[in-house]
Amino acid sequence: AKNLPYNPFDLTKMWLKKDFPLMEVGEFVLNRNPDNYFADVEQAAFNPANNVPGIGYSPDRMLQTRLFAYGDAQRYRLGVNHHQIPVNSPLGVENPHSYHRDGQMRVDGNMGSELHYEPNSYGNWTDNHKDAEPIQDGGDVYQYDFREDDHDYFTQPGMLFRGMTPEQQLVLFENTARNMGDSTLQIKHRHITHCYMADPDYGKGVAEAMGIDINDVDLTPMLSDSHETWLKDNARNSDLNTQTEPTMPKSAMDLPPEGRDTNVADPTTLYSWKKDPHVL
């Protein structure tokens, strides 16, 4: 992971299937519907931190946050002893050891007279250090400067755009134009330039959907300082800072019927995961 040209644990990055081929490990089969929706579904507590030994966690920052957040949410929603609810208990084990004790709604005997501290005179609950996971160096804890390992903001967006089908690209153009609505002309020009830097066809498609002539857009690489870019654009054309009127994207009528609305009724009509070059 450290030798890749990008941070693979950055959520804004895509993994190419040619670099990381998919491996089939099995399949889940739904063999029945829930007998009682509340008991089997609403009380279920899935937690990525609740794992079996041998499975570790990547330094993905979103995952690391969820390792804490999911458990906190379940303790608030279902109580501290939610692991005793049948849908959250292992099958065939009457009183599984969870290393938790006491708390509201404890109904399984609370481990009886068993000791709950270590060290103790009976040698119970002794740590087995040989099974401890090795310490991982995940980088600085006190801060995260994304610029240290990410200087290329356009290669991956361009690859993602080129991996889309023509229908997906049209949906992207139309959604972009619609959501930028009444932004100032300068902001629209700046976004078109960013899209063009990822892929020229991306920038041209967004410009056409917005009804903007690509030849009127300054396509030189953008300055990293937004204020400097604003001053530069205003010196070139002060009219760029004026508010624009929302317009119907010109490419909207070129879309398939299922793609003319952002709430696509059946996304599978525009997407095939088997043909997609990225691991999504």
For 46-115, give the DSSP string.
Answer: --TT---TT------HHHHHHHHHHHHHHHHHH-TTGGGSGGGSPTT-SS---S----TT--S-TTTT--
The pLDDT of residue 100: 76
Strand partners for 243: 184
The yes-or-no verdict on residue 221 having pLDDT over 80 is no
Q: Locate tokens 């007279």: which residue?
A: 113
Give the residue, 9 or 147, on which the prediction is more confident.
9
Q: 15: helix, coil or strand?
A: strand
Q: How many CB atoms lie within 10 A of CB 259?
A: 21
- Span 196-206, pLDDT tens digits: 999 999 999 99
Q: Locate tokens 């995952």: which residue?
A: 63
Give the residue, 106 or 247, on which the prediction is more confident.
106
The model's pTM:
0.62
The yes-or-no verdict on residue 253 having pLDDT over 60 is no
Say if residue 53 is preceded by a cis peptide, omega within 30 of 0: no
Q: Which of 168, 251, 245, 262 is nearest to 205 (CA)?
A: 251
Q: 206: helix, coil or strand?
A: helix
Give the residue, 82 or 118, on which the prediction is more confident.
82
- Span 57-101, pLDDT tens digits: 888 888 989 999 999 999 999 998 888 888 888 887 777 776 777
The pLDDT of residue 115: 77
Mean pLDDT across the chain: 78
Separation CA 90–CA 105 (nearest Å) = 18
